[in-house]
Copies of this chain bind each other. A is one copy, B any other.
């Protein structure tokens, strides 16, 4: 296995791109990453996407994006793992380069959700859960997360105010990210007044549907300096799965696949949670932020929200999270999110995060979650010293 580094990143702003097609969004992110790496060719393309079949009547995104991007004849394929599709695409690109089979690999995540005029997005997203045993009872994806949040509040004797810090932090950071969907900070009071979506989840606990695309270029670390002097090394990479249905889990308040995948990634990187300088976690809902901090070893069980309360998740805190707005404020174009997280981690490690910069960031972690924890993909990145 070869050591692998990221040599280029690209992204579109996250938002409502009614005037742009799937292929245009993917191309913009991909072309940005190619320019960033000063490259015009590649050996393989992995596309992350969840909903193009349902929403746009378009499958076969590997060939579609390769064709439109002028990468004629290239090996290309789509990878899907619900909301973790983009990190899954990154993982396959990583394996391809690490194997020695491909020298230049591209991972692009793309999703176009906002020009759906019916309920296709809601039913499509429900497909991340178990269609035969969960969705058939009428539960939507947000309702599943509401049950988890309800249970968490009951078990640890908390009210919903305990989750405010996650949303306030995400929106504060989103204000500094030119590609974020929401760029206005919110106050604690605004969080408390937000309308309920699925009790106890309110509008400000939930990440927004969005359109967007993000891309990265990978190559063997030993070749990275031919292309750039600010390459970022993939130091740990792991995927773990758990039961698809939440009701099948021994403890629904523990993300076993987060523990498993981060354990493997920590081991590969030779580090532990205390070494991580920032953590791009998967805050699809505020409850997921709390569970993620606990299951990955950043907080004790039941105390994930304490880090938010105590200001430890801010840019100068003990473990900064969602440093460029997270799913909550940057937006959550599901099949692209995992690559937005990775692009943002690279920005931090290159010291290109502007007013969101985490000082002396050397090691960053990203975690992309599919379903309510059924697929969890963890990556650890390190700045290559000049």
Contacts and interface: CB of A to CB of B under 8 A. Distances in A.
A123 interface: yes
A26 to B, nearest CB: 13
Interface residues of A, number: 65
Contact of A241 (B73, B88, B126, B371): B73
Interface in A31-72: 50-54, 56-64, 66-67, 72
Contacts of A127: 52-53, 57-60
Nearest to A87: B77
A244 interface: yes
A205 B127 CA distance: 35
A116 to B, nearest CB: 14
A18 to B, nearest CB: 14
Interface string A81-124: 11000001001100110111100000000000000000000011
A78 B64 CA distance: 18
Contacts of A64: 130, 244
Contacts of A135: 57
A128 interface: yes
Main SS of chain A's interface residues? mixed
B80 A78 contact: yes
Given A53-B124, A75-B240, A260-B73, A82 B99 contact: no
B73 A60 contact: no
A16 interface: no
B63 A371 contact: yes
A238 B239 CA distance: 25
Contact of A77 (B54, B67, B72, B88): B88
Contacts of A51: 53, 59
A242 B73 contact: yes
Interface in A9-31: 21, 23
A177 interface: no
A248 interface: yes
A118 to B, nearest CB: 14
A155 interface: no
Contacts of A257: 73
Given A79-B78, A257-B73, A374 B58 contact: no
B58 A243 contact: no
A375 interface: yes
A132 B352 CA distance: 37
Given A72-B242, A74-B241, A75-B241, 8 more contacts: A58-B131, A59-B127, A60-B80, A60-B81, A61-B80, A63-B374, A73-B260, A79-B79
28 contacts: A1-B99, A21-B132, A51-B53, A53-B54, A53-B124, A57-B126, A57-B135, A59-B82, A59-B124, A59-B127, A59-B128, A60-B127, A60-B371, A61-B80, A62-B80, A67-B245, A67-B374, A72-B242, A73-B257, A75-B239, A75-B241, A77-B239, A78-B79, A78-B81, A92-B92, A95-B99, A98-B99, A98-B101
